[in-house]
Amino acid sequence: MSLNRTEQRVFDYLKRHVGEGQFWQEKVRGIAKKAENDHVAAARLEPELWRYYLERSAVAEPFKEAARVEGLGRTSMKNLAELLLRQWAEPRPKKKPAEADGSGGAPQ
């Protein structure tokens, strides 16, 4: 998976700052548990990651310097959201294939 510069900055920061990483692990797991599927979970997580980036840009390096140089134009965090879900959320059970007759395998 390829992350953009902004996503990579957040990912690296979370790896280096254990407390922040643990907070986000729990947040990711909570969002994943409540979402119907991984697509919905990523869509909910993505704006949370962007808000986090904005908040950190006001107070913490390397975000402050990046904001000064690059500005704070909205950047997608979708790939990072999907990566964090894969790494930290419980895998969803595999769905069993439905029978071809549409009965779902129920005995007749």
Q: What is the DSSP letter of 90?
A: P
Structure tokens at 86: 């894969």
Tens-binned pLDDT, residue by residue, of the chain (108 aa): 799 999 999 999 999 999 999 999 999 999 999 999 999 999 999 999 999 999 999 999 999 999 999 999 999 999 999 999 999 998 877 777 765 555 555 555
pTM above 0.75, yes or no: yes
d(CA 93, CA 98): 15
Give residues with Cβ within 8 angstroms of 4, minimum separation 6: 75, 76, 79
The count of residues in the chain is 108
Check residue 96 and give its pLDDT: 72
d(CA 84, CA 58): 23
**Average pLDDT, rounded, for the chain:** 91
- Sign of the torsion angle spanned by Cα atoms 69, 74, 79, 81: positive
